[in-house]
Amino acid sequence: MSPDPAIAPTGLTSDEAGRRLTKTGPNTIVDVDVHPLWRALGKLWAPIPWMLEAAILLQLGLGDYLEAGVVAFLLIFNAALGFVQEGRAKATIDALKSRLALVASVRRDGQWKTVPAATLVADDVVKLSLGSVVAADVRLLSGSTLLDQSMLTGESLPIEAEAGKQAYAGALVRRGEAVALVTATGTRTKFGKTAELVRTAKAESSEQKAILRVVRNLAVFNGVVTLALAAYATHLSLHVVDIASLVLVAVLSAIPVALPSMFTLAAAVGARRLALEGVLPTRLSAVDEAASIDVLCSDKTGTLTRNELAVMSVCSMPGFDDDHVVALAGLASSDGGQDPVDGAIRAASAHRPTADAPALVSFTPFDPSAKRAEAMVRVPSGDLMQVMKGAFAVIQGLAVSPATAAPVAASSSPRGSGYWRSPPGLRESCVWLG
């Protein structure tokens, strides 16, 4: 969808934005929070509670009020334990969400304003700046940014986004600034659709399956025993009331009244232990489900790794050693910025100090249009050296490249690489990031 030329330059008016907000709803994910009362009642309406409730009814029918009270206590204890534990997890998640309240810089009535992200609508013109979170699906109109979309894609390596490119809600702007047109909000965004799929996915827990499997086997065995008892009692010509009482007792014995509570108590202890390790189970059954995993398959970077870049190997050109190459690369990297490549190089430089490292004189940040950063450094001899960091194809056009540089860069590019080299007449070096 191409931007409407009548909308893109000035954005919407406040009145038009208000009308669209009323029609399409806020730019938020559907709130699926359930009232605490219904959550509590839900603990009593499931296959496992049904067993205990059936036991209570049978014991009341037999006049065993004390036994019925004990089973009722187990039922309430089981429900309360799960309700409290999941309530604590929900409170923690709500606290985390409250810290993620977003605002957006949007052009309304011809002026830039800062508004809550929930009020964004389609065709709003927004500004994406360093450190901000993309609050809706947008299409860039101008500018260039480096976007971290790992929240949605799981890929740790940010991507360059220029005019005409699509950016999705939840992405973090790591570098640059751009003006963009909102194309989708709320549940219509990629993130919103993903969240909706997660919300609607339902599956019976392995805990419920285990308990029901045990009860089924007991019921089959107990059913055979009950039929045999009824047949024998009839053979002895017992009264019908006595036979009915005997059958009810046999049926009641097939219901393991303490089993659900033991499962819940064990899961609560496991959830407590996991919480101390920094893992937050939102459902008690999740503890048992995680323990039953035999094989975990993942193809997303950052899921099983640290989700950060690091300098894994260094390739020095003639006249340089590895430590000096990393030191020069660190001087040509932004200090304290959000660029993950610069952060990785700075970290490597800090862990590989050199005694005669050059001193930084001036630094020019990375320019997306030029695809390089520059630094002027002073070597121990007092001479100035210009260091440039950027894409190999760009730097290659600014200096005479040694014969070995291009093949090494080509062989390293599938693993992820960066190349640094000085202008003509100065020494050359390269560093690869993995």
pLDDT in tens, 14-56: 899 999 999 988 888 765 566 677 777 777 776 667 777 777 7
What are the pLDDT digits (tens) for 138-195?
Answer: 999 988 888 888 777 766 678 888 888 999 888 888 888 889 999 999 888 888 887 7
* pLDDT one-digit tens code per residue, 249-305: 777 676 676 666 677 777 777 777 877 777 777 677 777 777 778 887 765 554 455
Rounded Cα gap, residues 122 and 138, in angstroms: 9
Other beta carbons less than 10 A from residue 266's beta carbon: 14
Q: Please name the residues in contact with 89: beta carbons below 8 A apart, sequence gap of 6 or more.
A: 271, 280, 281, 282, 283
Residue type, 331: L
Mean pLDDT in the chain?
A: 75
Contacts (Cβ under 8 Å, ≥6 apart) of 178: 127, 128, 140, 141, 142, 143, 144, 145, 161, 163
Q: How many CA atoms are closer than 13 Å to the CA of 431, on its beta-carbon side?
A: 31
pLDDT given for residue 139 in this prediction: 92
Interval 373-397 mean pLDDT = 83
Q: Is the pLDDT of residue 378 over 70?
A: yes
Predicted pLDDT at 420: 41
- Cα separation, 303 vs 116, in Å, equals 31
What is the amino acid identity at position 311?
V
Q: Rounded mean pLDDT of 233-250? A: 78
- Residue 121: its pLDDT value, please? 92
In order of their start, the domains of the chain are 14-27+120-198 (2.70.150.10), 36-95+203-291 (1.20.1110.10), 313-432 (3.40.1110.10)
Residue-level pLDDT at 140 = 92
Catalytic residue among 4, 31, 33, 299: 299
Q: What's the confidence (pLDDT) of residue 101?
A: 46
> Higher model confidence: residue 332 or residue 413?
332
The 10s digit of each residue's pLDDT in 67-91 is: 778 878 877 877 777 677 666 656 6
pLDDT digits (tens, 9 = 90+) for 337-357: 667 778 888 888 888 888 788
* Percent residues over pLDDT 90 in the chain: 4
Where does 277-362 have alpha helices with state H?
285-291, 322-331, 340-351
Angle at 386 between CA 381 and CA 392, to 5 degrees: 135
Task: Return d(Cα 181, Cα 324) in angstroms, integer.
Answer: 45
Determine the Cα–Cα distance for residues 114 and 199; give it in Å rounded to an integer.
31
DSSP 339: -
pLDDT at 183: 92
pLDDT-based confidence at residue 365 (cuts at 50, 70, 90): confident
Q: How confident is the model at residue 307 (pLDDT cuts 50, 70, 90)?
A: low
Cβ–Cβ < 8 Å for 333, 359: no
Residue 147, φ and ψ in degrees, nearest 5:
-110, 130
* CA angle centred on 277, ends 340 and 295, rounded to 5°: 80
**299 is a catalytic site residue:** yes
Tell me which of 416 and 384 has the higher pLDDT. 384
